[in-house]
């Protein structure tokens, strides 16, 4: 018999710790997307995350310091840093550590627990429930997360658009780690991606693929 997940909100102090402690501890927690409509929220159990360790981390958006785009990462913990990437997609991070440390955890994948119908409406190409949030941009899309939610406090209670509940943290022996996805150079060396062993919603690993420059393409010969 499985105990029901704990629906107590995670307190801000949960996030005010070193990012490499917080990241694996987020697995099994519940992200609630409150839409404040009669349908109720969309809920997701986190199964895969990645740590980004502040201005010293070459893989981080905080590398080379604070800009308008990454300002939320430099703020207090327990807030959502949502950014737009590849001209099409949104991804969501949770800011960790004391204000100014500019570290965060990218939410890479999860299992939709409720609100499946609306999640499929947001992600019509998903062929089954497992694919709804298998990948960071898919996760954001399925939950209706975009730049409007950048800076949202996830420790501010159920009237906020997003909240994190205690859930059922994954036991340490079920947590695996490996290199981060899509991060090249020195940033690729650390095993700062964490996932729940064997979970079908974990996104497939993809090594960093450098883009071929358009000048390398065949030309008219001029």
Total length of the chain: 222
Give the three-state DSSP class for 58: coil
Q: Segment near DNA (CB under 7 A), from 17-25, 114-122, 168-176, 203-211?
A: 203-211
Distance, in Å, from the CA atom of 149 to the CA atom of 81, rounded to the nearest integer, reads: 8
Least distance to DNA, CB of residue 73, Å: 7
Q: Does 87 bind DNA (CB under 7 A)?
A: yes
Cβ proximity to DNA, 117 vs 216, nearer residue:
216
Q: Find how far residue 50's CA is from the centre of its chain.
A: 7
Among 209, 219, 221, 222, binds DNA (CB under 7 A): 209
Alpha-carbon distances of 104 from 5, 81, 111, 128, rounded to whole Å: 25, 8, 21, 30
Residue 51 parent element (H or E): strand 42-53
Q: Segment near DNA (CB under 7 A), from 8-16, 111-119, 163-171, 208-216?
A: 208-216
Binding residues for DNA, total number by CB under 7 A: 46
Among 60, 74, 111, 145, binds DNA (CB under 7 A): 60
Of the candidates 192, 51, 44, the one whose C-alpha atom is nearest the C-alpha of residue 110 is 44
Least distance to DNA, CB of residue 86, Å: 4
List the interface residues with DNA, window 107-166 (CB under 7 A). 123, 125-126, 131, 135-139
154, 162 in Cβ contact below 8 A?
A: yes
Strands 162-167 and 103-114: unpaired
Among 1, 38, 211, 220, binds DNA (CB under 7 A): 211
Of the candidates 185, 89, 96, 103, the one whose C-alpha atom is nearest the C-alpha of residue 139 is 89
34, 59 in Cβ contact below 8 A?
A: no
The number of beta carbons lying within 10 Å of the beta carbon of residue 157 is 10
Q: Does 219 bind DNA (CB under 7 A)?
A: no
> Looking up tokens 């080379």, which residue turns up?
64
Least distance to DNA, CB of residue 94, Å: 10
Among 1, 3, 4, 86, binds DNA (CB under 7 A): 86
Q: Does 101 bind DNA (CB under 7 A)?
A: no
Least distance to DNA, CB of residue 173, Å: 26
Q: Does 55 bind DNA (CB under 7 A)?
A: no
Per CB under 7 A, residues contacting DNA are 50, 52, 59-62, 64, 67-70, 73, 81, 84-89, 91, 93, 104, 106, 123, 125-126, 131, 135-139, 180-184, 203-204, 209-215
């Amino acid at each position: 018999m499985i105990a029901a997940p704990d629906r107590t909100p995670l307190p801000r102090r949960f996030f005010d710790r070193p990012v490499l402690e917080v990241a694996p501890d987020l697995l099994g927690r519940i992200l609630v997307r409150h839409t404040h409509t009669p349908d109720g929220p969309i809920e997701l159990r986190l199964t895969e995350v990645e740590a980004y360790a502040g201005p010293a981390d070459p893989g981080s958006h905080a590398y080379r310091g604070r800009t308008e785009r990454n300002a939320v990462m430099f703020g207090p913990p327990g807030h959502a840093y949502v950014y737009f990437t590849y001209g099409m997609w949104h991804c969501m991070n949770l800011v960790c550590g004391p204000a100014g440390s500019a570290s965060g955890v990218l939410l890479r994948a999860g299992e939709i627990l409720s609100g499946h119908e609306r999640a499929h409406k947001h992600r019509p190409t998903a062929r089954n429930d497992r694919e709804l949030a298998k990948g960071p941009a898919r996760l954001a899309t399925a939950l209706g997360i975009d730049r409007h939610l950048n800076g949202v406090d996830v420790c501010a209670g159920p009237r906020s658009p997003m909240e994190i509940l205690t859930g059922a943290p994954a036991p340490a022996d079920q947590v695996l780690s490996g290199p981060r996805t899509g991060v090249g150079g020195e940033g690729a060396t650390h095993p700062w991606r964490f996932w729940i062993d064997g979970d079908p919603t974990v996104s497939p690993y993809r090594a960093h693929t450098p883009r071929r420059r358009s000048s390398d393409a065949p030309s008219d010969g001029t």
